[in-house]
Amino acid sequence: MNHCMRHYEEPVVAYCRTCTRPYCSRCLVYSFGPDKPPFCVGCALNASGVRNKNKPIVVAAQPAPGPDRRMERAQRKAEKAEAKATSRALKRAAKNGDAVPEQAEPPRTSNVPVPRGLPVPSSRFAPPKPEHAVN
């Protein structure tokens, strides 16, 4: 064959490095320079990833947004500042000989009744008081 695969009136300049078909100078792409074998336009598009004959185009789904790290950091910073202020108040009260302010109790984890004879305040094990419904 002495003519291009696409342009029958044009003479063959080189063969494609992938499909080994003859092409003219208008159909060849020298992507790695003039010293390396050229690609035809179709094979160049496949090699670059713009077009692929064998695989359907799959659009990647965007991942779900992760946790907002700024909000988490601000919350941790506020908790740390609150703990620091509480410890300062306790130290100040101990230094001055004042009554130690009561700390808030952590939320209860169960409704297990208190066994008799334990030195634990019953309020800790009592069921929670119902809150007022606001209309």
Q: Work out the number of other CB atoms within 10 angstroms of the CB of residue 92.
A: 10
Q: What is the pLDDT of residue 131?
A: 66
Tell me, yes or no, if the pTM score tops 0.75. Answer: no
Using CA atoms, how far apart are residues 105 and 83, in angstroms rounded to an integer? Answer: 14
Q: What are the tens digits of pLDDT across the range 56-112?
A: 545 556 666 777 888 899 999 999 999 999 889 888 888 887 765 565 555 556 677
The per-residue pLDDT for 96 is: 82
In three-state secondary structure terms, 12 is coil
Query: What pLDDT is attached to residue 108?
Result: 57
Task: Say which residues have a Cβ less than 8 Å from residue 127's Cβ, sequence separation at least 6.
Answer: 111
What percentage of the chain has pLDDT greater than the value 90? Answer: 23
**pLDDT over 80 (residue 135):** no
Task: Name the band, by pLDDT with cuts 50, 70 and 90, for residue 28.
Answer: very high
- Please answer whether residues 128 and 108 qualify as being in contact, where contact means their C-beta atoms are separated by less than 8 angstroms: yes
**Average model confidence (pLDDT) across the chain:** 78
User: Radius of gyration of the chain from Cα atoms?
Assistant: 39
